[in-house]
């Protein structure tokens, strides 16, 4: 049911588009058909101006519509292979050239939040913003000890606007699920839920500061990426104070080249940073548009990225990470059979999917992109074709991976601008091979085993009581089973795997303990103790591999 507030918001969207001469979008969008007749009675329709370039009209419309639409434009601005150059150039201005709110208002917010006059908090504070974005803007300042910092301040009233737009997105998602045949497979409501979590997290600058501190620790000993230091005493939910950095914007390719920057190294480092964050750290910067990335060219032969704006970060669960790594490697090795099998095993496509047909479809889409430089590959077109393939096999969108997909698009856009001849596959494949090899190593296996021991101990202790409860319910006729056959099959297989894993873990652990005890007994040969313990390790590894 559309509420009056949502109706008014839909009307405003139409009026904004009409005011900027974009009424052709309204007239062709199905979602606006019920109210599009109102456009013709609007004065904006009759007085609209079309003398401004189309890119400028689109940018201004997105700015007027608010933060969520601005962020959509920011993402599009990195996809120059999908957009005409004039539109891409205009949308790029949304990255850090959103019209600012008054500097005096920012000063008042800082003073009210921190409880002191700006003159006491800082030696210097500039009311003229350094940059202005859709959710906050940044002001230059200097601490009383002389250190240069930036002060990030949330826009007044931004939370109310964002929550209103989120309500509208839920409405659109609901209408899509009701009237669009493919919407249920794409799960628009779940995608909106994921986006809601992300966008609301951006409204808490304490959370952003914590994200920055984590990334700084992750790359503390790395020459790949520098993360500014947070000044915690002056950081609150709507105000954040951070070390001021100096560098060349990553989008300023001409300046980078003028400094003699090794552009190939810079592009390859960007790929390595992405895969390091996703697979090694499992904590990745998920808003890597050009406005948030700078380059330290102090040593042009070894350029270093500098990141800002940490409001959006992403993590993956272990299963998703392992799945993605194996998928990437299978793609790199052109093992399309394995790609198809992984999709079925993960449940992304229905269990009854014919693997041979799915394999052939994936090969048809992916084979043309190999052995070609990045400048000749359009991942946008590849995604469109994969989308068409997914429709054939009823593959569902995975909302938990939306952030990762968005980040991949940003990475490709940056790589295309910096070094069009970058061989993404050649750069990424060795990294993924090393990571998968490391995950299968004895050290990693023992680490996972050690981490799982407390849970295993609890399971062993609780199992008798649980079995007794189940038997009691059976004897009293209270146990009911209401599982569908497919769910029952999955449960049985999961139980089999768990029992096999538990059996090998317990047996292996017992052998290791026995070996240790034998080693402590006088007269027992050392080789016998080592052999028993070694057999225990082999049993555990074998069980892990089998399960």
Give CA separation, 320 vs 317, 327, 461, in Å. Answer: 5, 10, 30
Q: Which residue has the tokens 């005890």?
A: 517
Cα angle 271, 369, 418 (rounded to 5 degrees) comes to: 35
Could you report the per-residue pLDDT of 296-340, keeping only the tens digit for each?
Answer: 999 999 999 999 999 888 888 887 888 878 887 887 788 889 888
Give CA separation, 461 vs 451, 454, 507, 510, in Å. Answer: 17, 11, 16, 16
DSSP characters for 109-132? HHHHHHTS-HHHH-SEEEEEEEEE
Single out the residue of 92, 88, 74 nearest to residue 286, CA to CA: 74
Rounded to whole angstroms, the Cα distance separating 174 from 501 reads 43
The answer to whether the CB of 114 falls within 8 A of the CB of 234 is yes
Question: How many other CB atoms sit within 10 Å of the CB of residue 445?
Answer: 16
Beta strands in 82-224 (DSSP E): 124-132, 136-142, 148-154
Q: Which residue has the tokens 């390790």?
A: 537
Q: What share of the chain is helix, strand, coil (3-state, %, to 5)?
A: 65, 10, 25
Give CA separation, 507 vs 174, 458, 511, 512, 540, in Å. Answer: 52, 17, 6, 9, 8
> What is the block-wise mean pLDDT of the chain (547 residues), using blocks of 10 residues?
66 74 57 52 56 82 79 66 72 74 94 95 95 89 96 92 80 71 66 78 93 96 94 96 95 93 92 89 86 92 94 84 81 84 81 87 80 62 64 68 73 80 76 77 65 66 72 68 54 62 58 57 58 61 57
- Please give the pLDDT value at position 104: 94
- 163-181 b/e with 16+ CB inside 10 Å = b? eebbebbbbebbbbeeeee
Length in residues, the chain: 547
Does residue 167 have an active-site annotation? Answer: no
The answer to whether the CB of 168 falls within 8 A of the CB of 152 is no
Rounded to whole angstroms, the Cα distance separating 290 from 100 reads 19
Write out the two tokens for 312.
Answer: 């959006």
Q: Is 442 helix (H, G, I), strand (E, B) or coil?
A: helix
Cα angle 86, 88, 93 (rounded to 5 degrees) comes to: 105
Rounded to whole angstroms, the Cα distance separating 338 from 326 reads 9
Rounded to whole angstroms, the Cα distance separating 520 from 514 reads 10
Single out the residue of 455, 542, 460, 535 nearest to residue 504, CA to CA: 542
- Please give the pLDDT value at position 340: 87
Task: Tell me the domain boundaries of the chain.
Answer: 4-92, 159-198, 248-439, 442-463+486-546
- Please give the pLDDT value at position 483: 46
Phi-psi region of 321 (alpha: psi -120 to 50; beta: other; left: phi over 0): alpha
User: Which residues does residue 148 pair with via DSSP β-bridges, in sequence order?
Assistant: 142
pTM exceeds 0.95:
no
Contacts with 8 (C-beta within 8 Å, 6 or more apart), sequence order: none
Question: How many other CB atoms sit within 10 Å of the CB of residue 521?
Answer: 9
Single out the residue of 295, 306, 299 nearest to residue 255, CA to CA: 295
- End-to-end Cα separation, the chain, in angstroms: 48
Q: Is 285 helix (H, G, I), strand (E, B) or coil?
A: strand
Rounded to whole angstroms, the Cα distance separating 27 from 381 reads 26
Cα angle 507, 510, 514 (rounded to 5 degrees) comes to: 140
Look at the alpha carbons of 530, 533, 536, 542 in this order and tell me if their dihedral is positive or negative.
Answer: negative
Beta strands in 308-465 (DSSP E): 313-314
Which member of 23, 96, 165, 287 is catalytic? 287
Look at the alpha carbons of 10, 14, 16, 22 in this order and tell me if their dihedral is positive or negative.
Answer: positive
The answer to whether the CB of 94 falls within 8 A of the CB of 74 is yes
């Amino acid at each position: 049911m559309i509420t009056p507030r949502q109706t008014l918001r839909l009307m405003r969207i139409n009026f904004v588009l009409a005011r900027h001469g974009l009424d052709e979008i309204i007239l062709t969008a199905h979602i606006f058909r019920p109210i599009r007749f109102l456009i013709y009675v609007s004065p904006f329709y009759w007085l609209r101006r079309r003398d401004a370039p189309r890119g400028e009209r689109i940018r201004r419309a997105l700015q007027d519509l608010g933060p969520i639409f601005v962020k959509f434009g920011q993402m599009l601005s990195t996809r120059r292979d999908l957009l005409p150059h004039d539109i891409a150039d205009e949308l790029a201005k949304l990255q850090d050239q959103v019209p600012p709110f008054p500097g005096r208002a920012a000063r008042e917010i800082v003073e009210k939040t921190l409880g002191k006059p700006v003159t006491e908090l800082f030696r210097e504070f500039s009311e003229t913003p350094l940059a202005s974005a859709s959710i906050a803007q940044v002001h230059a300042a200097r601490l009383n000890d002389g250190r240069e910092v930036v002060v990030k301040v949330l826009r007044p009233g931004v939370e109310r606007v964002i929550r209103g737009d989120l309500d509208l997105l839920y409405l659109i998602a609901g209408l899509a699920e009701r009237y669009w045949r493919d919407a249920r497979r794409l799960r628009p409501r779940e995608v909106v839920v994921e986006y809601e979590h992300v966008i609301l997290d951006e409204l808490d600058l304490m959370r952003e500061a914590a994200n920055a501190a984590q990334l700084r620790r992750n790359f503390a000993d790395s020459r790949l990426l520098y993360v500014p230091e947070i000044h915690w005493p002056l950081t609150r939910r709507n105000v954040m104070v951070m070390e001021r950095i100096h560098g060349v914007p990553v989008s300023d390719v001409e300046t980078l080249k003028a400094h003699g920057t090794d552009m190939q190294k810079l592009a390859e480092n960007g790929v390595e940073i992405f895969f390091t964050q996703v697979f090694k750290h499992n904590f990745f910067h998920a808003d890597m548009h050009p406005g948030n990335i700078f380059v330290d060219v102090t040593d042009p032969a070894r350029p270093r990225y500098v990141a800002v704006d940490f409001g959006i970060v992403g993590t993956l669960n272990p299963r998703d990470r392992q799945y993605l790594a194996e998928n990437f490697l299978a793609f790199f090795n052109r093992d399309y059979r394995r790609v198809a099998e992984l999709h079925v095993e993960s449940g992304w496509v229905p269990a009854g999917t014919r693997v041979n047909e799915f394999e052939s479809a994936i090969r048809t889409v992916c084979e043309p992109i190999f052995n070609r430089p990045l400048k000749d590959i359009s991942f946008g077109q590849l995604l469109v074709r994969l989308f068409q393939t997914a429709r054939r096999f009823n593959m569902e969108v995975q909302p938990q991976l939306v952030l990762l997909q968005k980040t991949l698009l940003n990475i490709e856009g940056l790589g295309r601008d910096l070094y069009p001849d970058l061989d993404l596959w050649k750069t990424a494949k060795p990294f993924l091979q090393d990571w998968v090899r490391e995950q299968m190593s004895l050290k990693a296996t023992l680490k996972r085993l050690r981490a799982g021991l407390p849970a295993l101990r609890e399971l062993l202790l609780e199992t008798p009581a649980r079995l007794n409860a189940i038997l009691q319910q059976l004897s009293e006729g209270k146990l009911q089973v209401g599982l569908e056959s497919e769910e029952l099959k999955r449960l049985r297989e999961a139980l089999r795997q768990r029992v096999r894993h538990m059996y090998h873990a317990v047996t292996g652990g017992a052998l290791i303990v026995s070996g240790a005890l034998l080693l402590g007994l006088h007269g027992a040969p050392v080789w016998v103790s080592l052999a028993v313990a070694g057999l225990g390790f082999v049993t555990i590894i074998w069980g892990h591999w089998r399960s």
